[in-house]
Amino acid sequence: MTPTLILSFLLSILLLLPRRNILTTAADGKWDLLLSDIGISAMHMQLLNSDRVVIFDRTDFGASNISLPAGKCRNDPSDTALAADCTAHSVEYDVASNSVRPLTVLTDTWCSSGTVMPDGTLVQTGGYNDGDHAVRMYNPCSDDSCDWREINSGLTQRRWYATNHILPDGRAIIIGGRRQFNYEFYPKISTADKSYNLPFLVQTNDARMENNLYPFVFLNRDGNLFIFANNRAILFDYVNGSVVKTYPMIPGGDPRSYPSTGSAVLLPLKNNIGAEVLVCGGAPRGAYVNASNGNFMNALDTCGRIRIDDPSPQWVMETMPTARVMGDMVLLPNGNVLIINGAGSGTAGWEYGRDPILSPVIYRPDNPLGSRFEVQNSSSTPRMYHSTVVLLRDGRVLVGGSNPHTYYNFTGVLFPTDLTLEAFSPSYLDPEFANSRPQIVSPASQSRIGYKQQIPVRFTIPTGRVNGSSIMVTMVAPPFTTHSFSMNQRLLILSGGNVTTVGNSTYQVRVMTPDSGNLAPSGYYILFVVHRDIPSVGIWIRIT
């Protein structure tokens, strides 16, 4: 090659480079402010089958920015902030009308956990102080009549920072919490049904800062529970109380659980394929102690992915575009994972997060290793400690909360208490895809389906042109979200036959419903039809 040829060759490479960069750093998605003041900071959230989201923070934050209904007050001498409090610490957000109404929670819900039961009732457990043994129920309603009901000593142990999961038998399991190296069930089956030891929580308890709170728990298709705490995991048979499998430590050995808060999801479940777990972000060992001395260590920038059914499972590590602690992971209707909120340094805990990460990232599990992450458009609102995220039926992602302070502090602090609700709309909601977006015709929303059945799903496509091989039917269990973890979150990709034309722009695909309650515990799910990665608005279905 002559020097000129070499030069033009190099130039052409240089010219190609920026294009590649544009591809890998493509900004996408859209942010909308929904409400500027819901009165409380969204520390815990759960979407119910009424398309309402129950939101609550803690009773001892002091006076919130929303009053209890009709002159009600809560008189609680044990409240650590305000013994007579006429403000609400829980609200119900109605997606359709984009409005909130106050709810009445009496005992302290701080750092608690929850599960939606098979009948659609939210059962929320534990908290702090006078609420640490409480069980609170919330039945969805579509008028404004529903409110919390509380059972003050519904739990055997105090549960503060515990994780819940719904079980195939319709009960909830409640695992761990501060200084609780055990688990229990709700409801109890007998008076002898109390709590059961879980030595794994002793083994993963770091001396100075537990690093194993809010463990990441997933129900595996074999009926066992995958439990990740600190830097490792077990497969646990909760019926026999035995460890079925011990997974290797996550490479690097840094903790991923509270307060080194990373996040985790069970990747989309497909028929006859082993389940995979993805754990992302967190903070290095020592980060909490360092943060308490004003030294905010960089968050972890790695994810570990593991096939939990493999005979000798190994973690495969991947690097995120940005380091993140206190990020949330949300399964999107098309099977991609949204990683959103959180900080670039510090840890969970009062005042311990720094460098908010404003750009979400989408992770595409089926892309080849090395090309799975895509950075999204950024928000302008830091979402630090005590922020939450849930997927809505229309495909938007509801984002709220952030309060790293022991009170509501709106001024004079680094990250003011946030009372807003925002929506992040992934690019699949862009108007340019409207013509590809399926619309479900049948089944009707709120239909009941059984296990192991073939059901027809009918939908229309506006253009009247369907790419049959890109059609996917998915089912998402709406999770209980707090402290960067979404309990009970799971997405199933239903196996389907060919897409047939049944009318003008109307198509049908027959899909198999899940084959067992291990794969999909009975209860309410949102069913989506996905066409070329673009999801329909979902419908509620109840599997029994």
Give min distance, CB of 331 to ligand NAG, in A. 19
* Residue from 164, 290, 322, 488 binding ligand NAG (CB under 6 A): 290
What 3-state DSSP class applies to 133?
Answer: coil
Task: Select the span of 307-315, 386-394, 440-448, 497-505 touching ligand NAG (CB under 6 A).
Answer: 497-505
Based on CB atoms, which residue is closest to ligand NAG, 6 or 239? 239
The alpha-helical segments, DSSP class H, found in 66-205 are 199-203
Q: Which helix (H) or strand (E) holds 473?
A: strand 471-477
| Total residues in contact with ligand NAG, by rule CB under 6 A | 30
Task: Select the span of 137-145, 267-275, 436-444, 462-470 touching ligand NAG (CB under 6 A).
Answer: 462-470
Task: Select the span of 93-101, 186-194, 338-346, 407-415 touching ligand NAG (CB under 6 A).
Answer: 407-415
- Could you tell me which residues are beta bridge partners of residue 67? 87
Angle at 456 between CA 450 and CA 462, to 5 degrees: 135
Q: How far is CA 438 from CA 114, 218, 476, in A?
A: 33, 30, 17
**Residue with smallest beta-carbon separation from ligand NAG:** 286
* Residue 56 backbone phi and psi in degrees, to 5: -155, 160
| Site residues (CB under 6 A) for ligand NAG, limited to 60-119 | 62, 65
* Residue from 197, 271, 367, 498 binding ligand NAG (CB under 6 A): 498
Instruction: Kindly tell me the sign of the dihedral angle through the C-alpha atoms of 376, 381, 383, 384.
Output: positive
- Could you tell me which residues are beta bridge partners of residue 136? 124, 150
* Residue 427 backbone phi and psi in degrees, to 5: -60, -15
Strands, E assignment, 240-352: 242-246, 263-266, 269-270, 276-280, 302-307, 316-319, 328-331, 337-340, 343-346
Based on the shown chain and the rule CB under 6 A, indicate whether residue 497 belongs to the binding site for ligand NAG: yes
Give min distance, CB of 9 to ligand NAG, in A. 31
Based on the shown chain and the rule CB under 6 A, indicate whether residue 470 belongs to the binding site for ligand NAG: yes
> Which pair of structure tokens corresponds to residue 138?
């919330």
Strand 539-543 with 447-449, pairing: parallel
Q: Dihedral (C-alpha) 324, 325, 331, 337: value to the nearest 10 degrees?
A: 20
Based on CB atoms, which residue is closest to ligand NAG, 132 or 374? 374
Based on the shown chain and the rule CB under 6 A, indicate whether residue 297 belongs to the binding site for ligand NAG: yes
* Residue from 2, 190, 191, 240 binding ligand NAG (CB under 6 A): 240
Based on the shown chain and the rule CB under 6 A, indicate whether residue 295 belongs to the binding site for ligand NAG: yes
Interface map 387-406 toward ligand NAG (x if CB under 6 A): ------------------x-
Based on the shown chain and the rule CB under 6 A, indicate whether residue 431 belongs to the binding site for ligand NAG: no
Based on the shown chain and the rule CB under 6 A, indicate whether residue 168 belongs to the binding site for ligand NAG: no
How many angstroms separate the CA atoms of 49 and 391, rounded? 13
DSSP letters spanning 23-34: HHT----EEEEE
* Residue from 119, 147, 193, 237 binding ligand NAG (CB under 6 A): 237
Based on CB atoms, which residue is closest to ligand NAG, 191 or 240? 240
How many angstroms separate the CA atoms of 261 and 49, rounded? 29
Based on the shown chain and the rule CB under 6 A, indicate whether residue 377 belongs to the binding site for ligand NAG: yes
Whether a cis peptide bond, with omega within 30° of 0, leads into 443 is yes
Give min distance, CB of 365 to ligand NAG, in A. 15
Residues that bind ligand NAG (CB under 6 A): 27-28, 30, 37, 62, 65, 223, 237, 239-240, 286, 289-290, 295, 297, 377, 405, 407, 409-410, 412-413, 419, 467, 469-470, 497-498, 504-505
